[in-house]
């Protein structure tokens, strides 16, 4: 495990964009896992600017969203599809996202096939992740085992609250989602976890320095051979070791 602490949100975004861009330059046909949420927004903007300046060529990249809401409707407002259209439009042709309007009955088989597609490509060369305040990675909520696979999940109120603004209200946030599992994520060649702000400090410390346990799904990343935690000073403030 490598821990990299930077000064602030701006430096966090620049450094994450550096790592994404370097991965693509080293391997132009890289397979990437990408999250949504507040934390990677600025990094995606930086990467988009570099693509526009032709500093990075993503024509052969294959990217996959690590999760998606199940809305039951065709309105993309608040979904991960809508998020990536806003924050990473330069990769719209190379980015796969699970469908959000499918029924719960269809969702299990669809997300399993989605994960199998990633596996058939050799897995992720780099999987970028955020961490929820409850320790989730992708939508692997507390209680997710290290052997959990792609599946339909029930979202916690805490996770739904984090997306309330995107959907317009907490009540509008779907209660179910599909996600790649912890085991799927751990098959990545490299993992980069971003966290910023004091609100993430306690859970970051538990994930990095606490015991590996399903109560904090991000703690399972301790077992990976190549994981980097990219943190700003506030998010790193409760770590005992740096």
Burial (0-12, 13-18, 19+ Cβ within 10 Å), 221: buried
Answer yes or no: 55 catalytic. no
Look at residue 84 in the predicted model and tell me its pLDDT.
97
Query: For residues 12 and 194, what is the distance between their CA atoms, to the nearest angstrom?
Result: 8
Look at residue 105 in the predicted model and tell me its pLDDT.
85
Closest CA to 149 of 119, 190, 104: 119
**Domains observed in the chain:** 2-232 (3.40.50.1360)
Answer yes or no: 104 catalytic. no
- The model's confidence at residue 242, banded by pLDDT at 50, 70 and 90, is low
Answer yes or no: 184 catalytic. no
Average pLDDT of the segment spanning 118-136: 97
Point out the catalytic residue in the list 9, 141, 184, 232.
141
At 158-176, the pLDDT tens digits run: 999 999 999 999 999 999 9
Helix 9-26 vs helix 41-52: crossing angle, to nearest 10: 50
């Amino acid at each position: 495990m490598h821990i990299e602490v930077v000064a602030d949100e701006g430096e966090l975004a620049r450094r994450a964009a550096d790592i994404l861009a370097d991965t693509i330059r080293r391997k132009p046909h890289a397979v990437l896992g990408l999250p949504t949420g507040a934390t990677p927004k600025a990094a995606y903007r930086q990467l988009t600017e570099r693509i526009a300046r032709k500093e990075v060529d993503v024509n052969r990249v294959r990217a996959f969203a690590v999760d998606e809401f199940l809305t039951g409707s065709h309105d993309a407002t608040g979904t991960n599809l809508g998020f990536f259209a806003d924050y990473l439009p330069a990769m719209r042709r190379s980015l796969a996202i699970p469908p959000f309007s499918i029924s719960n009955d269809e969702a299990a088989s669809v997300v399993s096939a989605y994960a199998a597609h990633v596996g058939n490509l050799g897995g992720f060369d780099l999987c970028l992740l955020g961490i929820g305040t409850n320790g989730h990675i992708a939508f692997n909520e507390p209680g997710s085992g290290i052997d959990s696979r792609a599946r339909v999940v029930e979202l916690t109120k805490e996770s739904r609250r984090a997306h309330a603004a995107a959907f317009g209200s907490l009540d509008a946030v779907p209660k179910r989602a599909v996600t790649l599992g912890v085991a799927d994520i751990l098959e990545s060649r490299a993992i980069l976890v971003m966290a910023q702000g004091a609100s993430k400090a306690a859970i970051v410390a538990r994930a990095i320095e606490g015991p590996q346990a399903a109560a904090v799904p991000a703690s399972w990343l301790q077992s990976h051979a190549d994981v980097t935690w990219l943190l700003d000073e506030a998010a790193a403030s409760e770590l005992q070791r740096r």
